[in-house]
Amino acid sequence: MEAFPQKIAVAVFITAIVPDTTRAPWHILEEHAKRSSASYGGIEIKNVSLPGKSQPFAVVSSDFNRLATYLYQKCTPEDLALASMMVRPGSFFREDLEKITFSEARYGSVDKVFIICVEDIMLTVDFQKWMIENCGAKEVMEIEEADHMAMLSKPQQLCQCLITILNSCH
């Protein structure tokens, strides 16, 4: 969005981390860590020291119980089972996210729509609204009874939101 804002009609954030133009994106994750439990909303974070790196590398992972409790609590058992087979350790890329900034002229010029998933335990409604206030979303929609994985827990409602957004762009 920062590189090619003119090519983007609207950016849609579905219960997602959405940065603003006043702070580095890492700030959002730090704020989430302050507001969340020590387990970071169901995701385990381990700092690993790597040779040649100035800061520890944060490796994130989640087990089946955390997925079931924090991310997929409204999904079918089949979707949860499939998701658990696809989990791999990952990273938040802290060093990169601390250096990146987004400008008001480019990133800030892109219209943003935020879809709140009301039953998201990972990113609570309060935290989602805090991000929305900071990023200046043009429109906010809500999906009742959707967990963090709205595409699985409430696919028809998510599809309807996306169709509404698409229709408003044309």
Residue by residue, pLDDT tens for the chain (170 residues) are 989 999 999 999 998 888 888 887 777 778 877 877 644 555 666 777 778 777 777 676 777 888 888 889 999 999 999 988 887 767 666 677 778 888 899 999 999 999 999 999 888 999 999 999 988 899 999 999 999 999 999 999 999 999 999 999 87
Global pTM reads 0.83
Q: Number of structural domains, the chain? A: 1
Query: What CATH number is associated with residue 49?
Result: 3.40.50.1820
Q: What is the extent of the structural domain holding 80? A: 5-169
Distance CA 62, CA 82 (A): 14
Q: Which residue has the tokens 């979707």?
A: 79
